[in-house]
């Protein structure tokens, strides 16, 4: 089944404790992206990757890191989480970033709470 998977689905952690949220897709997609969803703000893009070894900042990159060493994986790293990073996080992928083939498939989400 074609899908985007994220792990963990739920995570409660403490301020300052490094964590990684994994994202994997099995559709051979070039483009991958991370978003956070907060009430009243919709989704805001954190980082995106147009292909392996190519990543760039979205609108809210502060406090996050990403890497794209393999096509299928795009982990999100919080080196020192803070309470304002408590949110619902979504990973998404698209076959390509070119206009006619840009259609994002979303993972199920990771609900992160930082205390």
Partner 1 sequence: GNSVTQMEGPVTLSEEAFLTINCTYTATGYPSLFWYVQYPGEGLQLLLKATKADDKGSNKGFEATYRKETTSFHLEKGSVQVSDSAVYFCALSRDTGGFKTIFGAGTRLFVKA
Q: How far is CA 97 from CA 55, 61, 64, 94, 103, in A?
A: 13, 20, 22, 7, 8
Contact 42, 36 (CB under 8 A): no
DSSP assigned state of 34: E
Interatomic CA distance for residues 105 and 49, integer angstroms: 14
Rg (CA), the chain: 13
Q: Pick from 31, 34, 64, 74: which binds partner 1 (CB under 8 A)?
A: 31
- Within 53-112, the residues that bind partner 1 by CB under 8 A are 56, 58-59, 90, 92, 97, 99-100, 102-109
Nearer to partner 1, 4 or 78 (CB): 4
Query: Min. distance of Cβ 47 from partner 1 in angstroms?
Result: 10
Nearer to partner 1, 36 or 75 (CB): 36
The site for partner 1 (CB under 8 A) is made up of 4, 31, 33, 35, 40-45, 48, 50, 56, 58-59, 90, 92, 97, 99-100, 102-109
């Amino acid at each position: 089944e074609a899908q985007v998977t994220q792990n963990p689905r739920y995570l409660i952690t403490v301020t300052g404790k490094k964590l990684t949220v994994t994202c994997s897709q099995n559709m051979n997609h070039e483009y991958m992206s991370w978003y956070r969803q907060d009430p009243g703000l919709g989704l805001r893009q954190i980082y995106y990757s147009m292909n392996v070894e190519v990543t760039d900042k979205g609108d809210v990159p502060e406090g996050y890191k990403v890497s794209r060493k393999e096509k299928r994986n795009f982990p999100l790293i919080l080196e020192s989480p803070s309470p304002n990073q408590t949110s619902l996080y979504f990973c998404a992928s698209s076959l390509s970033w070119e206009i006619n083939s840009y259609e994002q498939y979303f993972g199920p989400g990771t609900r992160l709470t930082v205390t």
